[in-house]
Amino acid sequence: MTTAPPTLPPVEPPAELDRRSPKKLRAPVIAARLDEEYDGGVVELNWTTPFELLVATILSAQSTDKKINEVTATLFAKYRRPEDYLAVAEEELQRDIYQTGFFRQKTKSLRGMCEALMERHGGEVPLTMRELIALPGVARKTANVVLGAAAPEAHRADRDAGIAVDTHVKRLSRRFAFTRSDDPLRIERDLMKLLPKESWPSASLSIILHGRRICDAQRPRCADCIVEDLCPSSLAAGRRDLARQAKGMGQAPVAETA
């Protein structure tokens, strides 16, 4: 199952808005355009229950959604509940998830997470940030993805919820000059200040899709980009790539917009 949070109403940009405008003004317009373009964003991992989404998201670290979907097609038929992951030998689970990479660490994370679900939550996935991030192997990115996709209303009501920051969100946030940081927690906080809370689940998913389809790490397709006019890193406009510049220099980019 893929989930698309409800799309946001269009945001009318102020008449003079452009790539040099303050990020506070550009951010909601960029988020709304991407939200519309990608229909609220979707988790491209296959899942039917919050537990499957949690497992798939843990497995997806340092891998691709395509690979994870190939692996979980058989994994989810064999392991249906948390106790199933604890009933087999560690080596057997390692073999079953081997193709996802980092299989030893992921096996430990999965079994630790399943053990905690059994001990603390009756085998069910808790749908609060506080309880999710207390599970072994579950950091804020995973918790935000699971809560935002499996229970968007709970995500909106949860005061601890935020924005999932993966490699795409990190890169695009820097290209948009929404942040000068390299740290996911700091980037999440910067984004939370710029975007309305109701947009957080879909903003993250839409930015991820834009990063995968248009704003590639090596070759961003700026000429085809629907937010090109608002992007301070547009190569089509002869601008510097703020994400690459920061990486190359090993320091935060020079802020070019407020």
Our CB check for ligand SF4 shows the closer of 160 and 229 to be 229
Contact 46, 72 (CB under 8 A): yes
Contact 120, 114 (CB under 8 A): no
Contact 211, 171 (CB under 8 A): yes
> Of 40, 41, 220, 253, which one interacts with ligand SF4 (CB under 6 A)?
220
Closest to 111 measured CA to CA, from 86, 134, 132: 86
Our CB check for ligand SF4 shows the closer of 135 and 222 to be 222
Contact 47, 71 (CB under 8 A): no
Using CA atoms, how far apart are residues 23 and 55, in angstroms rounded to an integer?
35
Tokens 């089509």 sit at which residue?
236
> Of 214, 246, 253, 257, which one interacts with ligand SF4 (CB under 6 A)?
214
Smallest separation (angstroms) from ligand SF4 to the CB of 258:
18
> Of 146, 227, 253, 257, which one interacts with ligand SF4 (CB under 6 A)?
227
Among 64-72, 77-85, 121-129, 226-234, which window interacts with ligand SF4 (CB under 6 A)?
Answer: 226-234
4 lies in the site for ligand SF4, by CB under 6 A: no
Our CB check for ligand SF4 shows the closer of 72 and 234 to be 234
Smallest separation (angstroms) from ligand SF4 to the CB of 126:
35
Using CA atoms, how far apart are residues 34 and 139, in angstroms rounded to an integer?
26
> Of 42, 59, 61, 222, which one interacts with ligand SF4 (CB under 6 A)?
222
Q: Which residues are catalytic?
A: 141, 166
257 lies in the site for ligand SF4, by CB under 6 A: no
> Of 228, 244, 246, 257, which one interacts with ligand SF4 (CB under 6 A)?
228
Rg, Å, the chain Cα set: 19
Contact 52, 114 (CB under 8 A): no
Contact 43, 240 (CB under 8 A): no
Site track for ligand SF4 across 125-154, x = CB under 6 A: ------------------------------
* Cβ neighbours of 74 (radius 10 Å): 10
> Of 29, 169, 225, 246, which one interacts with ligand SF4 (CB under 6 A)?
225
> Of 110, 138, 231, 246, which one interacts with ligand SF4 (CB under 6 A)?
231
233 lies in the site for ligand SF4, by CB under 6 A: yes
Contact 255, 177 (CB under 8 A): yes
184-194 vs 140-150: helix axis angle to the nearest 10? Answer: 40
Contact 43, 3 (CB under 8 A): yes
20 lies in the site for ligand SF4, by CB under 6 A: no
Instruction: Kindly list the residues in this chain that would bind ligand SF4 in the complex (CB under 6 A).
Output: 175, 214-215, 220-222, 225, 227-228, 231, 233-235
